[in-house]
Amino acid sequence: MHAAAAALLVPYLLASSALAEPVHLPLRHKLRYDDEHDYGLGKRDSQRTGIAAWGADAVYSVPITFGTPYQMLDLVLDSTLINTYVFENTCLTCAGYMTFEVNKSTTWVPSDVNPIAGSGDVGTDVVGVWLLPGQNTNYTFGAVNTTVYADLPKGFVLPPNLTVSGNLGMGPTPANGSHHNPLLYNLAQNWTDKVYGVKLDRTRYSFNDNIFANTEIPGGILTLGGVDNSVLASNISFLPVVNISHSYQVWAVPLDGINIAGVPVRAVQTQPLVAFPDMVGQAIIGTHAVVGELYSHVPGALLLKSGWNSTVWSANAWVFPASSIGIGTDTNGTTPKASIGLEIILGGKAYPVADVDFAIKLITPSELISRWGATQAQAAAAPLWVIGGVQELEPWPRGLPIGFGLGLSFLRNVYTAYRFSPDSVGFGHLTYDAGAPVVMGPGTPRNISDVQPSSPSGAQATPSSTAKASKGATKRANVIFGLVAAAVAVWIAV
């Protein structure tokens, strides 16, 4: 049976010519309601339009096709993984999630390897990005039926009835001896320029902007085989990826410095540090020494305990009065025009972080007491508080290069490009604020119906009617998030 399945795979080998021109995919995102107390994933309507961001920018996803006939599933973009995982239809903890039905694909070839992020199956099948012609290949991935990410916060539950179905590993070139490659790495072997670019928009333009609540709006651009020059205000500066431990394979580049309110954070200069983009982390994550010094320049900042019971990471969270960034009123009843002035310095260039991205969530004094363990005196110091967009991770994970995880709080403010062989990460300033809607140029597909199905060597491009929600009994599902997302969950699931 395995031999027959292998024979079926032969016609589906990528037969397209090299991708000579970049392909631009529109990003879209969906908002949460402001009165929700978590940043979980929200529902998405039936229309598929490029890439989506879910739950106040909690995660971004892209439609990926699996198998023959194809089953289209939304996978979370994860720049800290090289592997790809989908939920299998036999998953017992995936009620309401879209799942991959292995037995419905005529081109699935199973493997004897076990998935490292849960139990289930590993195999090879035809996998493609959206329905883009030529952007499909035979690819090995995991189909998990239970998840075992034990370091998520106790009681952390993602909402049911979602259409996200796992994680798309978008890490760098795999280390020697690795049995897994990122999907885009495999596809890039047929690109003239082995690079992809990412522009992420935020879902809110201000802290009080609720006009788009619970709706899906344009959210950015993913470009395969090039970059989107139309959103760049400067040339992209590429930095070589530094050699790191094989325990973690991330796009790590040297971190030159961090400025806050015009003052350099001196702890950054005490040892060589790296920075790596993290598309699933809400916050910018660093060590206690660096983050603590950074918040010493933020008026009224406090380090509190969240109550998250973890044996791996600390449960600390930095909060500060909302008036520190011009939200609400200060003790005198006025609204100061303040700015945090956070800048990340990479390759000798400073990249500012907007104040709106320096706040993960607004919280009341009562929430500060009940959820974060603040004293009455601490909470009374301000009428409104903010969970900061920079947080600490202690102890730092073993094997991970010491530095900063550049989560969405940073990535929404820059253009990033990722180049394979040799690996490098590029950063560029944007022509407009990260919150502004993307104006898509001629020829850019806006809806899935605008893209012609890919049919290399007679491949079937017909949709499968079996890609449906799992009917498991439980509504709990621990999505296989990336490297530091489990740690960040303490701040996004408050």
- Are 70 and 144 part of one and the same domain? yes
Inside any domain, residue 326: yes
pTM: 0.77
Quick one: 229 exposed, middle or buried, by C-beta within 10 A (0-12, 13-18, 19+)?
A: middle
pLDDT at 339: 74
Inside any domain, residue 493: no
Q: Do residues 241 and 426 touch, judged by C-beta distance below 8 A? A: no
- Residue 410 structural domain: 231-428
pLDDT at 60: 77
- Asked which of 80-94, 114-128, 188-202, 283-297 is least confident by mean pLDDT, the reply is 114-128
Q: Do residues 100 and 73 touch, judged by C-beta distance below 8 A? A: yes
pLDDT at 472: 27
What whole-number percentage of the chain has pLDDT above 70? 61
Residue 82, token pair as written in the block: 């090289």
Average pLDDT in the 138-167 region?
61
Residue 405 vs residue 34, higher pLDDT = 405
CA dist 303 and 292 (Å) reads 8
Q: How many domains does the chain have?
A: 2
CA dist 317 and 295 (Å) reads 11
Instruction: Identify the helix (H) or strand (E) that includes residue 220.
Output: strand 216-224
Reported as a single tens digit per residue, the pLDDT across 233-249 is: 989 999 999 976 655 67
C-alpha distance from residue 166 to each of 97, 113, 446, 483, 488 (Å)? 9, 18, 23, 14, 18
- Are 419 and 443 part of one and the same domain? no
Inside any domain, residue 491: no
| Average pLDDT value for the chain | 70
Region of 326 on the Ramachandran plot (φ > 0 left; ψ -120 to 50 alpha; else beta): left
CA atoms within 13 A on the CB side of 464: 22
Average pLDDT in the 471-494 region?
27
- Are 22 and 141 part of one and the same domain? yes
- Are 388 and 443 part of one and the same domain? no
- Are 191 and 338 part of one and the same domain? no
Q: Is the pLDDT of residue 324 over 50?
A: yes
Average pLDDT in the 98-125 region?
83
Reported as a single tens digit per residue, the pLDDT across 374-429 is: 999 999 999 999 889 999 887 777 777 788 999 989 999 999 999 998 999 999 99
Q: Is the pLDDT of residue 306 over 80?
A: no
Q: What share of the chain is helix, strand, coil (3-state, %, to 5)?
A: 15, 30, 55
How many Cβ atoms from other residues are within 10 Å of residue 33's Cβ?
10
CA dist 287 and 251 (Å) reads 18
- Are 76 and 98 part of one and the same domain? yes
Reported as a single tens digit per residue, the pLDDT across 343-384 is: 999 999 999 998 888 888 788 999 889 888 899 999 999 999
CA dist 203 and 180 (Å) reads 33
- Are 126 and 218 part of one and the same domain? yes
- Are 416 and 272 part of one and the same domain? yes
pLDDT at 244: 67
- Are 89 and 112 part of one and the same domain? yes
Residue 124: CATH number of its domain: 2.40.70.10
Reported as a single tens digit per residue, the pLDDT across 449-466 is: 333 333 333 333 333 333
Q: Residue 125: which pLDDT band, with cuts at 50, 70 and 90?
A: very high
- Are 77 and 213 part of one and the same domain? yes
Inside any domain, residue 473: yes
pLDDT at 281: 82
Q: Is the pLDDT of residue 158 over 80?
A: no
pLDDT at 432: 62
Residue 433 vs residue 14, higher pLDDT = 433
- Are 185 and 242 part of one and the same domain? no
How many Cβ atoms from other residues are within 10 Å of residue 326's Cβ?
15
- Are 244 and 313 part of one and the same domain? yes
Q: Is the pLDDT of residue 475 over 50?
A: no
Which stretch, 173-177, 200-204, 364-368, has highest mean pLDDT? 364-368
